[in-house]
Structure 1
């Protein structure tokens, strides 16, 4: 399912890393780097808040209080540099659903978030496995791509073009080298030129003009969510 996550974290490097990991899961992530901006968004309804306690402006406790008053049962994960029992207990008593202390590995947060999202919204259905990205619906099971502006007509992709799209959309935001793409799409025994990747990318861009397929010169490609 394409969940929407509001991530409130004032450490730039950490917030960008967490955003990248979440986007690889196919989630849409909105970043807030100060508490006041996040507090203005409590009327909105993401699927999950990931909320630092110590923030410039409004602190995480007040934001959590406002979320609970405005939106009730939206799940919230608290994160904090302060590994103290009092913080943990206070956060849970105020209504956070989970608490994680810095430093932590981004994948640990992803695992906890997945469990919380599944508990809140249920197991993914076949329909929810579809990826909505850049005005396209990508169905990995059916191996189809639909332009949401022309839903009655699927995008006509070759096998290699579809393989490339599925590979990159499974890891949104992650840069993949040409070598990685060759190995995954063409197989380990491929002995042709890496320019085959560039050719497929060029065709995909022509057929899917709104896809944000970024070239990393001298390295490879990645797909961005926005």
Structure 2
């Protein structure tokens, strides 16, 4: 499998590159966002992106470019800044995982293996059908069969959709949704649920998500 690793700390990048190569991954290292952006259309299995990079192009810019071009590569974000904020931003933009610095090479390798296993296109895909939507749970892809087009969701939008699909006709309050989609360590306004739900409804208007005023939501 082929990995692109974007990291401006040269000593760290060389250590990680050696670990990845030792595990059998063909690994290319970029030390700035500008050089990485030149290869944004390449077909690789995984990008490992540091958020803060030397130059004007950040890890955020790179993942936005990947998603805009429909690049199917998996993405792992790393960052040493405000970890909670970076993690939320990275996952919202569609990354598959997030790793805070400092991290051990072995921990990164384990994350790489887990992400690539989930993204392995050779495994049997689990499909769910709802209205005109064909939802590939394995590859995290959604197709509108009537319009013959793919629907792009962020990681959190897909997690919310998955949560509803697994609990059709069951009502959940905002706190329940926060816990299942954002995790127990999220600290912030529960209104983030309303915003995420609004975006999901916009992208998938055939979803019959009922608002239960004063309580929460359920998928019918």
Contact 1:83 1:101 in 2 (8 A): no
Contact 2:48 2:78 in 1 (8 A): yes
Shift of 1:69: 1.2
Structure number with greater Rg is: 1
Shift of 1:123: 7.1
Match of 2:69 in 1: 70
Instruction: Please give the per-residue CA displacement for 1:77-97, whole angstroms capped at 9, x wherever unaligned.
Output: 000111421111011000111
Match of 2:85 in 1: 86
Contact 1:83 1:102 in 2 (8 A): no
Residue 14 in 1 paired to residue 17 in 2? Answer: no
Moved more, 77-86 or 111-120: 77-86
Moved over 3 A (4+): none
The aligned length equals 122
| Structure 1 gap segments, 5+ residues each | 125-226
Larger RCO, structure (CA 8 Å, separation 6 or more): 1
Question: TM (normalized to structure 2)?
Answer: 0.53
Distance 1:73 1:83 in 2: 28
Alignment map for 1:40-119 (pairs within 5 Å): 40-57=38-55, 58-119=57-118
Shift of 1:76: 0.1
Q: Secondary structure at the match of 1:41?
A: coil
Distance 1:81 1:88 in 2: 11
Distance 2:8 2:90 in 1: 19
Question: TM (normalized to structure 1)?
Answer: 0.52
Distance 2:120 2:84 in 1: 29
| Structure 2 gap segments, 5+ residues each | 124-220
Instruction: Please give the per-residue CA displacement for 1:48-107, whole angstroms capped at 9, x wherever unaligned.
Output: 000000001210001110011113331000001114211110110001110000001001
Alpha-carbon RMSD: 1.4
Distance 1:83 1:106 in 2: 21
Distance 1:121 1:43 in 2: 20
Contact 1:49 1:75 in 2 (8 A): yes
Contact 2:41 2:71 in 1 (8 A): no
Distance 2:102 2:82 in 1: 9
Alignment map for 1:169-180 (pairs within 5 Å): none
Contact 1:22 1:110 in 2 (8 A): yes
